[in-house]
Chain A
Amino acid sequence: MSVTHALREAAPPVANRRPLLIAAAIAAVVGLAILASVPQFANDYVIGLAISLLIYINLATAWALFSGTTRYVSLATVAFFGVGCYTVAVLGEKLPWPAVLLVAAAIGIVLALIVGLTTLRLSGMYFVIFSFGLTELVRQLVTWHETKLAGSLGRYVFLDLRGPHIYWQLLALAVILFAVCWWIHRSRLGFAIRLIGEDEAAARHSGVNTTAAKLAVFVISSVFMVLVGAIVAPRWTYIDPIIAFSPLVSFQVVIMALLGGAARFYGPIFGVVPLVFLFEILIARFPNHFSIVLGVIFLLIVYALPRGVLGWFIDQWMKRKARRPA
């Protein structure tokens, strides 16, 4: 059975889904309009919270796009995010804003290509460790460069971009990201990477160019991570390697995506929303117990919800459907 044939087989019949799709599209447009108007009536605190929600929605969805489907667990999220931050810190005042974003995206593509070409041959375990080592290497090199060659560890970002602007940009980025995910999900590429996630050897034997497929999705996912970093940078005004390359961001992204369910592209949101609120409360009320709760959530996911919240709901729904005679 050829891949295209299998794809056609797997695709659901279109006709009876059309009303549902139209309803979903209308709901999406209305929802988006409401989301876009949030800064009009919300105070600074709410906008700040909305921004962290959007940061992690973008990062976790981008992470799941690659790692959720191929099952290559990447801990390099913050490496790309930090590179985006630093692009803005260095070029922010020298170029117009859209040009800065373009440069950041270009740097992201080049970096992702280099990393992808060299590492995607590594299997499972080694890829995880490599991605973590890469983050540390980048951070150490940036630290060294800043202290030795640039003269000071931190940099200041003075750009006239306020909360609402950052919010809107992140929202737009999320919309684009979801569109891209949806498109990949339905394309041959999406089918190929899902096949890789199921069984890479089988994918290779059935004629999928696994390296090219993985590389393409890895680059797309990384570019979004770089852009998130670039867009958020002006909000911080002060940036140093410890802030921009904090490994905690990578861990949080993994845990959020896994809690939501990384197998579907809209899964991570279900993990991001509760966890961003939880972390917000934890940092405000129990800053000392943050790590403990993070650890417990990790363990809970592994033992109780291995397929995430979304996967759990789907399982329950399937069970009920199976119980009811059709």
Chain B
Amino acid sequence: MPAAQRRRHFFLMALIDALLAGFTLGGMYVLLALGLNLQYGVARIMNLSYGELLIAAAFLALVLFNQFGVAPWITLALVVPLAFVVGLGIYRLLLTPLVKRSRSREALEVDSILATFGLLFLIQGLMLVAFGGNYYSYSFLATPIHVLGTTVAANRLLALAIALVAGCGLYLLLTRTRIGTAIRAVAVDPQSAQLVGIDVRMLAAVAFALGAALVGVAGVSISMFLTFNATFGVLFTMKALIVVIMGGVGNLLGCVIAGLLLGLAESFVSTFLDPGLTLAASFGLFLTILLVRPQGLFGRAGR
């Protein structure tokens, strides 16, 4: 093979690698962000302990797999109702008093940030006591699969499939059911929703709990292929936030596109520029979008 052709061949391979890695990563980000989008877009709670719930679900999958040999997809079926109840509990116990107390949306936002900050450290601290600062991972479906001339681990593809199912399920729930329509109405305008007989406070609780269930799903899926420790939560919260704000708060489709975009951007920076710059690139992208279009790429009119 002549040198030029070989170089082109290598470039093409790297491109396919980056695309594939970008899509699997992006799918993960979408799944990660869907729950936060519900919590912030509908319940108007900026939940900074979001990533901690994700790590908690990951630890649950780890313990069940290592101690009892329970496969992650069974954990998945378990974690959805469990996380839903936990989310409902958090909303009822911790956040309802704040919702009642706050006079304006801004006041609620600041209060909820501070309260969920406390929750962040509390959950993280509990996990640190239980698991220490060690890194954990387990091996499940780590077999390589050949796709388009490169290899991907089967568990990553499974996680991508879970992300697709969860995303489509949420989409159908929101667009095809009565409660989904009501949730969307609350996301658009809580005051008007109240006028047409929607119980806003109840639906906000449901949306918050649904968000918790989704983050549980994300946590179990991520635990299949990622090494994690008790302090990783903040990183995931930030990633989810970036995707939510990029896509536009409360915008499901925007969330999907933004998640994929972020995954691709990171994988391209890491492949073609420098792996050390991926985090800087994602924060840079985020800050730029925040400045230029605070309402998000596909958001409705900003505040």
Interface residues of A (CB under 8 A from B): 71, 73, 118-119, 122-126, 128-130, 132-134, 136-137, 140-141, 143-144, 147-148, 247, 251, 254, 258, 288-303, 306
What are the residues of chain A within 8 A of B106 when measuring CB–CB?
A: 71, 123-124
Interface SS majority for chain A:
helix
**Stretch of B26-34, B63-71, B121-129, B217-225 with 4 or more beta carbons under 8 angstroms from chain A:** B121-129
Q: Which chain A positions have C-beta within 8 A of B111?
A: 302, 306
Asked whether B110 lies within 8 Å of A291 as measured between CB atoms, the reply is no
> When A71-B110, A289-B125 are in contact, do A298 and B286 touch as well, CB less than 8 Å?
no
Residues of B within 8 A of A302 (CB): 98, 111, 114-115, 118
By the criterion CB–CB under 8 Å, are A128 and B113 in contact?
Answer: yes
Q: How many A-B residue pairs have CB under 8 A?
A: 116
Chain A residues contacting B109 (CB-CB under 8 Å) are 124-125
User: Which of B's residues lie within 8 Å of A, judged by CB?
Assistant: 46, 94, 97-98, 106, 109-111, 113-115, 117-126, 128-129, 132, 234, 238, 241-242, 245, 274, 276-277, 279-280, 283-284, 286-287, 290-291, 294, 303
Chief secondary structure at chain B's binding surface: helix
Contacts of A292 in B (CB 8 A): 121-122, 125-126, 129
Q: In the bound complex, do residue B290 and residue A73 qualify as a contact, i.e. CB atoms below 8 Å apart?
A: no
Whole-angstrom CA separation of A13 from B291 in the bound complex: 45
29 CB-based A-B contacts, threshold 8 Å = A71-B110, A119-B291, A122-B294, A123-B303, A124-B109, A124-B110, A129-B241, A129-B245, A130-B290, A132-B238, A133-B283, A133-B286, A133-B287, A137-B284, A140-B279, A143-B276, A147-B276, A254-B114, A288-B128, A291-B125, A292-B121, A295-B117, A295-B118, A295-B119, A295-B122, A295-B124, A299-B115, A299-B118, A306-B111
Among the listed B124, B125, B234, B283, which residue makes an inter-chain contact with A247, where contact means beta carbons less than 8 Å apart? B234
In the complex, which residue of chain A has the Cβ closest to the Cβ of B118?
A298
Residues of B within 8 A of A71 (CB): 106, 110
Our pick among A73, A133, A289 for the contact of B129 (Cβ within 8 Å) is A289
- The chain A residue with its CB closest to the CB of B132 is A288
The winner among B46, B241, B280, B303 for most chain A CB atoms within 10 A is B280
